[in-house]
Amino acid sequence: MLGSMPKNMLYYKASSVALPDLYEASILDLQDGLVKGHYTSVQLVKAYFDRIEEVNLKGPALHAVIETNPIALSQAAALDDERKDKGGRGPLHGIPLLLKDNIATLHEEGMNTTAGSCALLGSVVPRDAFAAAKLREAGAIFIGKANLSEWSGMRAAWGQLKGQVPNGLSERGGQTLSPYYPNAHPSSSSSGSGVATAIGLAAGSLGSETHGSIVSPSSKNNIVGIKPTVGLVSRSGVIPISSHQDTPGPMCRSVADAALLLNFMAGPDPRDEATLHQPGIVPDYMKALDKNALKGVRLGVPRSFIRDIKIIEEVFNSSLDVFRALGAEIVDPADFPDVEELLTSKAEKRVLDVDFKVDLNKYLSELVHVPTGVKTLAGLIEYNEKRADLDLPPPFYRDQSQFIQSEAAQVDDAYLAALTEDFDLGQHERN
């Protein structure tokens, strides 16, 4: 278990500089050390690179990071110089972060954006993803890309037991492993972001969620993940699944760190129409970090949604006592009126089948260059068929079932009806 690793292994060994414990330090703690001159961003980046070297491909070989940024140290040096000359930009100045490998970064920086697939290796994106650009403007350093379920889990059909591609497995990154127990489930497509954050491979990370891919790996890896409301954070430059459900979001070791990243990520983007329908002024989420905020708040417990996870129910129930002690009123149970219909509806699956084809084709068409020539979902299927023996390990490389289902899907009356059903179920649950 990595949690038992000696503390002195968490420091940058090539220097006498005593950095904070990289397991526990918050972003504000790290920034405080930078401001006071206890260490530089260059030293901090080197420390995280040392950590990645120790545990990613060597040692426990967790495969949480798919590649590192070849110019991160020069970027850190430039930010150190800027701090000396002009002062800091704010709390993210010189802070090292990881991004899930479906979030685009400038091609000239030297990192790929591939969703874990060799089909997009060397592809040239037109620009940073909007969320990445906002964080970069605030002074963050992207030290690498996090591994993920290939194509964010959309290669194999949901629920298909035989041959289903495992969560956290990609051709480029290999199989992400749990940091807490050998071969334990790393959970969902943002698994690399979750594992890397849990063991201090960066100060924080970004994931993306369509159907649990932020909240689930955050839960499994004992970190804090926020799935923002669709439209709060732009999806432009993020390899898509569904324009109706996708959103990038922060994955950090504390609520404060996650709120801080969300502050800088949120905002309107002309390339994502959903963001233009949000309130014009982004609130300061850090102001909501009030220890008295739960006093008088009513929190409902939808028991129907935790009925199949008895293994965590005892711990879950103890957390309710913590909320009560902080002044919250717990309504238990507080089940949704249409819970059975919500759990059994096939509408979401039909919408995702169609959206994946439409939205992925749009993303691929906007790439400046793709060395493999893959510019459509149909082209991706053909590419994988021609090089199956070089792709994922058997039997997983044979499974393109979700790709094939989506390629056959159409924007038709059934799709439009499914959209309406999704909307109606969502409205009922909110009411």
Domain residues of the chain, as ranges? 2-430
Residues forming a β-bridge with 204: 97
pLDDT at 12 over 50: no
The mean predicted confidence, pLDDT, of the chain is 91
Calpha distance 184→176 (Å, rounded): 10
Of the CA atoms within 13 Å of residue 72, those in its CB half-sphere come to 27
Strand 65-68 relative to strand 96-100: parallel, antiparallel, unpaired? unpaired
Q: What is the pLDDT of residue 185?
A: 78
Crossing angle for the helix pair 347-365 and 377-386, nearest 10 degrees? 80
Q: What's the predicted TM-score (pTM) here?
A: 0.93
pLDDT at 391 over 60: yes
Calpha distance 289→287 (Å, rounded): 5
Exposed/middle/buried for residue 267 (C-beta within 10 Å: 0-12, 13-18, 19+): middle
Mean pLDDT of all residues in 228-249: 97
Considering the candidates 213, 216, 242, 406, report the single residue annotated as catalytic.
213
Place 339 in a pLDDT band, splitting at 50, 70 and 90.
confident
**Tokens in use for 290?**
């009030």
Residue with tokens 């334990």: 184
Residues found in the chain: 431
How do residues 194-207 score in pLDDT, each as one tens digit?
A: 999 999 999 999 99
Q: Is the Cβ–Cβ distance between 243 and 235 less than 8 Å?
A: yes
Show Cβ contacts of residue 165 under 8 Å, excluding neighbours closer than 6 positions. 149, 150, 153, 155, 156, 392, 396, 399
Q: Is the Cβ–Cβ distance between 180 and 2 less than 8 Å?
A: yes
Nearest partner of 113 among 401, 378, 366, 392, judged by Cα:
366
Q: What is the pLDDT of residue 3?
A: 40
pLDDT at 1 over 70: no
pLDDT at 346 over 90: yes
**Tokens in use for 20?**
């904070």
Q: What is the pLDDT of residue 431?
A: 44
How do residues 277-307 score in pLDDT, each as one tens digit?
A: 988 788 999 998 998 999 999 999 988 877 6
158 phi/psi in degrees, rounded to 5: -60, 135
Calpha distance 431→425 (Å, rounded): 10
Considering the candidates 41, 46, 100, 149, report the single residue annotated as catalytic.
100
Mean pLDDT of all residues in 392-406: 85
How do residues 17-48 score in pLDDT, each as one tens digit?
A: 789 999 899 999 999 999 999 999 999 999 99
Place 308 in a pLDDT band, splitting at 50, 70 and 90.
low
Of 130-134, 217-221, 261-265, 389-393, which range is least confident?
389-393
Q: What is the pLDDT of residue 399?
A: 86
Residue with tokens 């749009």: 362
**Tokens in use for 71?**
């110019």
Strand 247-252 relative to strand 204-209: parallel, antiparallel, unpaired? antiparallel
Q: Is residue 100 annotated as part of the catalytic site, yes or no?
A: yes
Q: What is the pLDDT of residue 322?
A: 95
pLDDT at 231 over 70: yes
Q: What is the pLDDT of residue 13?
A: 46
DSSP 249: E
Q: Is residue 189 annotated as part of the catalytic site, yes or no?
A: yes
Q: Is the Cβ–Cβ distance between 142 and 69 less than 8 Å?
A: yes
* CATH 3.90.1300.10 is held by the domain 2-430: yes
Name, of 68-82, 175-189, 285-299, 389-403, the range with top average pLDDT: 68-82
pLDDT at 389 over 80: no
Considering the candidates 41, 149, 189, 191, report the single residue annotated as catalytic.
189
DSSP 120: G
Of 199-208, 290-299, 308-317, 368-377, which range is least confident?
308-317
Q: Is residue 170 annotated as part of the catalytic site, yes or no?
A: no
Q: What is the pLDDT of residue 9?
A: 36
pLDDT at 56 over 80: yes
**Tokens in use for 321?**
């006592």
